[in-house]
Structure 1
Amino acid sequence: MNLLLPDLGTLSDVKTFVGRARKVDDGGAIRLVAQGQVLAMYACALHGAGGPTVLALRVLTLAEPVQVDATVPLAAMADRFARIDRLLAGARPTPRSVGRPIGLPVPPTTATNASWAGMAPPRSGWNVEGVVPFDLLRGAARTGIDEVAAGVPAGSGAAAVAKLRGIVWGRPLLEGAAGLPTGAAFAAETFGFLGRTASHVDLLAPPEEDVATLHSAGRWWRLSTTRGHVLARPASGI
């Protein structure tokens, strides 16, 4: 099964998403859901160990319609990228080639360590709850990252690390938004959905957005920016 991507730019987008997911969990997985010409890519930022479930979602447009729902290892996707790069190596880019569709084979291997993939957030019924400033999200993400790093002594086992992450990222992010975990800020920052910081702004570029919209549907929360979405729900015991 192939996903026909419109151009090299879209391939780069997929590579970037997979690369960021591997930084979170190199042995993790990605869920690819294509319906018609819309491709939704899901990756897990947090799940298990008594903490919240937090997913990153990036939506792209395909060059031709296809029906796919596959959860595959991130490493297998990286192998596909390497094969494509070898095929393109030595080919001098031209305006025509840059805009030419590229086939991305879906790996045949199903990921066996992605229980989060069975937790399907709703596709409709979302209520707008307001906006959240990027600065607040960046600050919460940095504070949590520092707390996890400081609270895990050298030599700590995986279980201890996972437990601390569950505690830190499971805390409420905002007053009045019960159930929205701080881990949503971690995912938004880690997957690049908050864009550049003020110190890296290009004065010649159009002004960037500085808030994410907040939505809710049942126990699920969603933070949305033009770069992607974060889907989060608290631990089942909350």
Structure 2
Amino acid sequence: MTDLLRLVDAAALDDLGRFAARARALEADGAMRLQATGDVLAAWVGVLPGSGILAEGTVLGLRTFALAEPATLDAVVPLGAVTDRTARPGSGGADLPVPPTRALAAWAAVTPPRGPWEPLGDLPADLLADVARVGLAEVTEAVKERGAAAGLVRDRVWARDVREATGPHPDLMAGGSVGPTDVPVRAGGAFAAYALGFLEPGSVVRVLRSNRWIRLTAPGGHVLMR
């Protein structure tokens, strides 16, 4: 197993660090799964946990990075260890020493398929951002009012279809390729794409399906939902 990942340049290493920092803002003690095969590194993070034997409701974030040297690795490590190794000022390098500490993450046992992925259409990134902001406001208010009992509200908010989360939306009414009765996309996917910084204003997010999985492919990365 590789103990050092050499990314293509320092900018890519910084990008990986920002991704890890955003994920850590969602879960301070969270984990990242580093999967390297050949010259590609797949970096996975968990956003929302699933439940039951099939882990229904799981929402994952994924970024891929080019490697300057081929590597083989599959390790789940603490997010804090990744941010520590990507935040050293003035290093100017592109090397990521693989953290020796391993982390436990239930979502890491759930591996989405590599494909084939069936294209289902597109959704406006602005719609997903609006859904995420509305949901965050609801969850924040529930936490203020109910404290630890806000979990049921949180689950309900992120389980909604994105087209139900904000009511009629101008981007959909203008004629997006995914209509109001087509593929269901949970609001939890919008939350993940927004929180991880994947959405660009005015852009389009592709929606794909493979068996029980839905994938959102945005300019900044991928969200996978089961």
Shorter-chain TM-score: which interval? 0.7 to 0.9
What amino acid does structure 2 have at the position aligned with 1:146? A
| Structure 1 segment 81-100 matched on structure 2, within 5 A | 81-82=86-87, 84-85=88-89, 88=91
| Match of residue 93 from structure 1 | none
Residue 77 (structure 2) pairs with residue 103 (structure 1): no
Change (3 A) 1:127 1:48: closer
What amino acid does structure 2 have at the position aligned with 1:79? D
2:33–2:43 CA contact under 8 A, matched in 1: yes
Of 189, 192, 195, the match for 1:187: 192
For residues 168-188 of structure 1, the C-alpha deviation after alignment (integer angstroms, 9 at most, x for no partner) is: 10122244324x311000011
Gaps of 5+ in 2: 164-180
Range with bigger deviation, 161-170 or 69-78: 161-170
Residue 27 (structure 2) pairs with residue 39 (structure 1): no
State the SS of the aligned residue for 2:39: strand
Of 2, 5, 8, the match for 1:3: 5
| Match of residue 65 from structure 1 | 70
Gaps of 5+ in 1: 89-97, 198-208, 234-238
| Structure 1 segment 1-238 matched on structure 2, within 5 A | 1-48=3-50, 52-82=57-87, 84-85=88-89, 88=91, 102-112=94-104, 114-153=105-144, 156-157=147-148, 160-174=149-163, 175-178=181-184, 180-195=185-200, 197=201, 210-233=203-226
Aligned CA-pair RMSD:
1.9
2:51–2:58 CA contact under 8 A, matched in 1: no
Cα distance, 1:155 vs structure 2? 6.9
Cα distance, 1:154 vs structure 2? 5.4
What amino acid does structure 2 have at the position aligned with 1:54? V
Separation (CA, whole Å) in 2 of partners of 1:66 and 1:6: 13
Aligned residue pairs, count = 204
For residues 108-148 of structure 1, the C-alpha deviation after alignment (integer angstroms, 9 at most, x for no partner) is: 11112x10011100101110000001121111111111111
Separation (CA, whole Å) in 2 of partners of 1:49 and 1:67: 30
State the SS of the aligned residue for 1:137: helix
Separation (CA, whole Å) in 1 of partners of 2:50 and 2:98: 27
1:127–1:217 CA contact under 8 A, matched in 2: yes
2:44–2:62 CA contact under 8 A, matched in 1: yes
1:52–1:169 CA contact under 8 A, matched in 2: no
Change (3 A) 1:106 1:163: farther
Identity of aligned residues (%): 43
Cα distance, 1:167 vs structure 2? 1.6
Separation (CA, whole Å) in 1 of partners of 2:36 and 2:74: 6
1:49–1:166 CA contact under 8 A, matched in 2: no
